[in-house]
Chains A and B, each alone.
Chain A
Amino acid sequence: MDAHIQVNNLNVYYGRQQALKDVNIEIPKKQITVIMGPSGCGKTTLLKTFNRFLELTDGAQITGEVLVDGENIYDREVDVTEVRKAVGLLAQRPSPLPMSIFDNIVYGMHIHRMKRDRREYKAAVKHYLEIAGLWDEVQKRLHDPATSLSIGQQQRLCLARGLAVEPEIILGDEPTSALDPISSQNIESRLLDLKQNYTTVIVTHTLRQARRLADYVIYMYLGEVIEAGPAKEVFTNPKHERTKQYLEGLF
């Protein structure tokens, strides 16, 4: 397997409580990996180790390695802002920045000095809003506040904003759980379109969404990875009893 992210002996503690136990997994390049499992199993915790978001949580301690393209993102020499530029995050609820639709997209490109002049920014804004499927709806109101958009539109704006800093990996922390069915479907189809160019890792608690999106599946239970493998194998022929029970909806 051509692994984009490799996790070695990862342990996470919140105070004395262990949230992740000796996780060793690989996440394939340019595919959609879905992390699933019951609530409190450590899905989101694992996801947050990939963009070093866990260190924003008080009292979280991490041991082990997370390699992105072979480089340990927890190495002292690594710049956390570069990690987060390369590994984008689509959060559970969209959180537009307090500025216009246009400036929301420009923000990330601007702090990373990615474009030279306003013409380039304008072109990039159009490009990424098109990718996120939002351009037609907002092209006439680019300078309106981002908060004037509907929740579903805001989530697509957040997707466009994340893509604008040119990440290689997209993380999604239950990215459709706050959305209505049509908006959810919209986001899902964007993610499917994008997987040719991006490695995508999605946390979800809905099994049906996992089946629709996943190329590769990681099943977790109580902080441990129980089973990981290609979606077809795991869904049709789970090796582990617990995975089978979960897929059958027993808990």
Chain B
Amino acid sequence: MGMRKKHLQKRHLVELFMKTIMRVSFVIVAGALGLILWTIISRGLPALTWDMVTQVPKGGYYMGKEGGILNAIIGSAYLATGGTILAILLSLPIALYLKAYLGDSKWGGCVRLSLDVLWGIPSVVYGAFGFALMIVFGLRASLLAGIIVLALIELPIMTRAMDEVIRRMPEDLEHAALALGSTKFEVALRVVTRQMLPGIVTAVLLAFGRGIGDAASVLFTAGYTDRISTSLMRPTASLPLAVFFQLGSPYPEVQQRGYAAALILTIIVLAVSLGSRWLSARLNKYTVK
């Protein structure tokens, strides 16, 4: 029989080479992630005291050696939550309009392409754009402006993700429910929602994750403050900027706050992405693929 290994043929060598490349790239990616996590945890964990998460900085965030980062934690929660809610309000109608009216038409393609381009624009450009708008409207750096710019950043991610979910909705499903005598509202509420919810939840959390970690856009628009924000019209602190400003300080005590902020931000993003995976797996149990 001619089935024994003769000698190393060229195509076997190619396969071996490719396998090696894949393994090496995996090690690089996993190693980079591990290194980042190790740096953040080893430096952030010692800094993560009770005072750190319950107090605002004392004596100025750049100079003061005492106090914590509660201002940034709450500020980021406000910014990302507000931005995400605003983005949902804009994305859902766009995604539904794409499905219901544009479909796969030329205009639908144009809208999708625009969204993809928007997705790729660096956030510092969004920040500058937001800043230009603020000047036009006479708005100062504030929580509101930050929320608006974050919503704009989240919009393309969320809309495209929702669009994919809605496009994958099987038409048979609506017909099956209508054939049983459902009203259109019942179809929407009990069938379409059930089918699409997991995907939409994932889209929202994905966008939230991007929004909360973005530094450049809020740098221009939300400003920074030592206080806990109480008004939409006043500046607010945020975790990404807490890292940026405080790590640049010459004082080790201040740098501690930067590392703590980085750790908390990483934990939030990690929790959101793991949570969204868990949730969508759970909700996806019954959906029709």
Contacts and interface: CB of A to CB of B under 8 A. Distances in A.
Same complex origin of A and B: yes
Interface of A: 51, 53, 56, 81-85, 88-89, 91, 93, 95-100, 107-108, 111-112, 145-147, 158, 161-162, 165
B181 A97 contact: no
A53 B180 CA distance: 11
Interface residues of B, number: 22
Contacts of B195: 98
B15 interface: no
Contact of A81 (B183, B191, B286, B288): B183
B172 A91 contact: yes
B114 interface: no
Given A98-B191, A145-B286, A107 B177 contact: yes
A91 B180 contact: no
A81 B170 contact: no
A101 B179 CA distance: 18
B267 to A, nearest CB: 33
B175 A107 contact: no
Given A84-B178, A84-B181, A97-B194, 12 more contacts: A53-B175, A81-B183, A85-B180, A88-B180, A91-B179, A95-B172, A95-B288, A98-B191, A99-B194, A107-B190, A111-B180, A147-B287
B181 to A, nearest CB: 4
B11 to A, nearest CB: 39
Contacts, number: 75
Contacts of B186: 111
Interface of B: 170, 172-173, 175-183, 186, 190-191, 194-195, 285-289
Given A95-B170, A95-B173, A98-B191, A165 B287 contact: no
Main secondary structure of the interface of B (DSSP, over half): helix
Contact of B179 (A89, A98, A146, A147): A89
B190 A95 contact: no
A56 B191 contact: no
B288 A96 contact: yes
10 smallest CB-CB distances across A and B, nearest first, come from A85-B181, A95-B172, A108-B180, A89-B179, A84-B181, A95-B176, A81-B181, A98-B195, A98-B287, A145-B286
28 contacts: A51-B179, A53-B179, A84-B179, A84-B180, A84-B181, A88-B180, A91-B175, A91-B179, A93-B172, A95-B173, A95-B176, A95-B288, A97-B177, A97-B191, A97-B194, A98-B194, A99-B194, A107-B180, A111-B181, A111-B183, A145-B285, A146-B286, A147-B286, A147-B287, A147-B288, A162-B179, A162-B180, A165-B180
A44 B287 CA distance: 28
A82 B178 CA distance: 11
A21 B170 CA distance: 32
A165 B181 contact: yes
A158 B176 CA distance: 9
Contacts of A112: 181
A107 B189 CA distance: 12
A95 B180 contact: no
- Counting chain A CB atoms within 10 Å of each CB, the highest count among B173, B180, B191, B285 belongs to B180
Contacts of A146: 286
Contact of A98 (B178, B183, B288): B288
Nearest to B195: A98
Contacts of A83: 181
Contacts of B176: 91, 95-97, 158
A66 to B, nearest CB: 16
A37 B175 CA distance: 25
B143 to A, nearest CB: 39
B103 to A, nearest CB: 12
Nearest to B197: A98
A82 B180 CA distance: 9
Contacts of B178: 53, 56, 84
A83 B186 CA distance: 16
Contacts of A89: 179
B289 A147 contact: yes
A88 B179 contact: yes
A204 to B, nearest CB: 19
